[in-house]
């Protein structure tokens, strides 16, 4: 069993104004507080004003001495060229029309850029020598309060894992990964790899970051941007030897890899699932109709 150093970050992407799944900064702090009593060392990348709130939360749990905060004034200066190129694409006329969902969060430059920075944070923590051994990226808003785990007090434990120190561990809804071209995946946004929790050994973090960054640069050259899920798939296709893929579900890798005591929300009943399937079917039909409406202008 190996103790895990957790790396996370909060950068304001203006999500409170998103039409899909809007969340305020205060809501993200609530989400963080739900799991912040975990006894592992946590490294947080965020702004000065948010850093004080993070320290206060960890201090409440007596874990301030296991908390490291890296203050970032402006996250866009970390990879300024990439950000500027992503911004041009996001503000252009083609990306939104290309996707089936023209209001998808993946069309937002700041969102995609911050998702990319997850892997820079892992590499930077190792570079600064504030993390070694096994590291895990966990989203600041992990679990969304209680989407999966329902008892915050159960996070009062030290997370250790038996995952191999020789691989970067990715988690997917289906390990039989799609062979669809990247162009099609950007259009339909169907990627099974999850980015909410990733485990990586220190000696692979720099290579991991370099690979994911390269995928974003390649995507930019083709006139696209997207979030980290598709970048992880692209990196996996190019460098399968550094990865180990595990089948899981949203937020479940934690319970399945060293935290079996965590209580999970009961699954919805069959009747509710059927209702959701019908709703999702109708949403897709609406999405395709809107997409076709956008495409009409290219045939006029």
Cα angle at 199 between 194 and 205, to 5 degrees?
110
User: Cα–Cα–Cα angle for 63, 65, 67, nearest 5°?
Assistant: 75
Count of domains for the chain: 2
Task: List, for residues 162-172, the tens digit of each pLDDT value.
Answer: 999 999 999 99
Span 232-275, pLDDT tens digits: 999 999 999 999 999 999 999 999 999 999 999 987 444 456 76
Residue 300: which domain range? 267-300
More confident residue, 85 or 15: 85
Q: 161 and 82 in one domain? A: yes
Under 8 Å between Cβ of 130 and 43: yes
31 shares its domain with 49: yes
Residue with tokens 């399937």: 277
Q: At what angle do helices 80-90 and 109-127 cross, to 10 degrees?
A: 160
Q: According to the model, what pLDDT value does residue 284 have?
A: 62
Q: Can you tell me the distance from the alpha carbon of 205 to that of 187, in angstroms, rounded to the nearest whole number?
A: 30
Which pLDDT score is estimated for 269? 44
Separation between Cα atoms, residue 68 and residue 55, nearest integer Å: 9
User: Residues 99, 189: contact at Cβ < 8 Å?
Assistant: yes
Q: Which two tokens stand for residue 100?
A: 């089936």
- If pLDDT is split at 50, 70 and 90, which confidence band does 97 have? confident
Q: Are residues 202 and 59 in the same domain?
A: yes
Model confidence band, residue 286 (pLDDT cutoffs 50, 70, 90): low
Beta pairing partners, 8? 44
Q: How many CB atoms lie within 10 A of CB 72?
A: 21
Residues 251 and 281 in one domain: no
Q: Are residues 249 and 286 in the same domain?
A: no
Residues 245 and 275 in one domain: no
pLDDT above 80 for 21: no
CATH number of the domain to which 131 belongs: 3.90.550
Q: Are residues 176 and 154 in the same domain?
A: yes
What span, in angstroms and rounded, lies between the C-alpha atoms of 245 and 247? Answer: 7
Residue 143 has pLDDT above 90, yes or no: yes
Same domain assignment for residues 178 and 74:
yes
Same domain, 219 and 258: yes
On whether both 226 and 201 belong to a single domain, the answer is yes
Q: Check residues 291 and 102 and name the one with the higher pLDDT.
A: 102
Note whether 52 and 41 are same-domain residues: yes
Do 227 and 275 lie in one domain? The reply is: no
Answer whether 234's CB lies under 8 Å from 215's CB. yes
């Amino acid at each position: 069993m190996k103790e895990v150093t957790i790396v996370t970050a909060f950068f304001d992407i203006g999500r409170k104004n998103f039409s899909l799944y809007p969340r305020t900064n205060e809501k993200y702090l609530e989400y963080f507080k739900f799991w912040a009593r975990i006894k592992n060392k946590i490294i947080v990348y965020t702004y000065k004003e948010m850093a004080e709130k993070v320290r206060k939360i960890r201090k409440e749990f007596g874990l301030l001495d296991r908390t490291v905060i890296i203050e970032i004034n402006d996250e866009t200066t970390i990879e300024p060229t990439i950000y500027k190129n992503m911004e041009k694409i996001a503000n252009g006329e083609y990306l939104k029309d290309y996707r089936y969902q023209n209001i998808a969060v993946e069309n937002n430059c700041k969102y995609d850029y911050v998702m990319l920075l997850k892997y820079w944070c892992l590499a930077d923590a190792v570079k600064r020598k504030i993390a070694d051994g096994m590291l895990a990226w966990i989203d600041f808003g992990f679990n969304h309060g209680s989407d999966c785990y329902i008892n915050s007090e159960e996070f009062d434990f030290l997370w250790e894992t038996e995952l191999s120190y020789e691989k970067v561990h990715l988690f997917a809804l289906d390990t039989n990964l799609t062979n669809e071209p990247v162009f099609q995946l950007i259009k339909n946004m169907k990627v099974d790899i999850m980015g909410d929790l990733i485990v990586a050994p220190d000696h692979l973090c720099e290579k991991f970051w370099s690979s994911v960054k390269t995928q974003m640069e390649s995507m930019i050259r083709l006139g696209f941007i997207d979030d980290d899920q598709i970048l992880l798939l692209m990196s996996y296709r190019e460098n399968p030897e550094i990865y180990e893929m595990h089948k899981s579900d949203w937020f479940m890798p934690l319970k399945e890899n060293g935290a079996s005591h965590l209580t999970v929300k009961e699954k919805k009943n069959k009747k509710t699932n059927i209702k959701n399937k019908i709703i999702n079917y109708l949403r897709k039909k609406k999405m395709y109709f809107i997409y076709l409406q956008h495409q009409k202008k290219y045939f006029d």
